[in-house]
Amino acid sequence: MIDLLHIGGAPAYTFLLYLFSEHKDNQELLKNAINFLIKYFVRRNLTDIPATRDLDTIFIGLVDFCEMNKKQLSIRIIMEYLMNQDRFSNLNLFEEKLTGNIYEENADVVRFILCKIEETHQTKEIFSDLWMKDEKNKFVWTIEHVFPEGDNIPKKWIEMIASGNRDEAEIIKEKWVHKLGNLTLTGYNQNLSNLSFEEKKERKDHNGKDIGYRNGLYLNRDIVDEINWTENHIRNRTRKLVDEAINLFKTDNEGKNITSSIEKKDDEINTKKKSKKIIEYIPLIDDNNSIQNK
């Protein structure tokens, strides 16, 4: 239930009240329904399908649908209703949003996804309460951009990500800074900010505690091993995290093999390049059947 609260699942509470009232003895159904609703709202809140204005109507309709099927109610019947194409974002659209500028789409959903990916790799020995709040009721762990998002790109970052070319660095920033692969979690956002990549990795507090990317989070494992942080690093990490997010928030009856839209775009670019090269080397034949180079 806490996860449903964190992801903003309040529109489903009417349905849950019905479920807890009429099927309180079916613990498996209650558990499966809550788990599905978490996936439902992660995808809804990222894709905006269905629209917010329709949610109350959908869940009131779900109560009526469950009442009609009360004697044989199961998680499959609940999913059948909610996964109607007008009420549920399909996996391809979800994947497309995950590979886009996701931070600009919905930062709250991004934080939830990053937290859930991290939590799947936590153990009793390695545990951080990612939902802890400070005295101002704000989350201690917040989203950190590895490549800084600020207006003025620091000189060291321009040198690293674009070989000193400021214009190119701006283009890369525009395309990649808000991608999932450039995002992580930190409890010390203000201490990292616009620091260089090396400084962000190695940052310690006055007691020598790691407060940079060597803080032990799973999300940072593939960051701390890198010497540089470039467009390719962000692209590759985005692919990895998108795959993890899809595995977490797909339903059991949805396909596992989804080609990342990043890979699709790369394939399209490579195909165009190959086609161009082929065209450039096609010889032209004149009226005298002699071969001329284009």
Q: Tell me: the pLDDT tens digits for 100-144?
A: 999 999 999 999 999 999 999 988 767 789 999 999 999 999 999
pLDDT attached to residue 66: 97
Alpha helices in the chain (DSSP H): 2-6, 13-22, 27-47, 55-68, 75-82, 91-99, 102-105, 107-119, 155-162, 166-176, 189-192, 197-202, 221-224, 231-249, 261-280
pLDDT, one tens digit per residue, over 273-290 is: 444 443 343 343 344 433
CB of 34 within 8 A of CB of 28?
Answer: no
pLDDT, one tens digit per residue, over 227-263 is: 999 999 999 999 999 999 999 999 988 864 444 445 5
- Determine phi and psi for 164, rounding to 5 degrees: 90, 0
Higher pLDDT residue, 155 or 257? Answer: 155
Please check the confidence at residue 81 and state whether its pLDDT lies above 90: yes
Cβ neighbourhood burial of 172 (10 Å; 0-12, 13-18, 19+): buried
Instruction: Tell me the C-alpha distance between 224 and 292, whole Å.
Output: 54
Instruction: Tell me the C-alpha distance between 185 and 182, whole Å.
Output: 11
Q: What is the model's pTM? A: 0.85
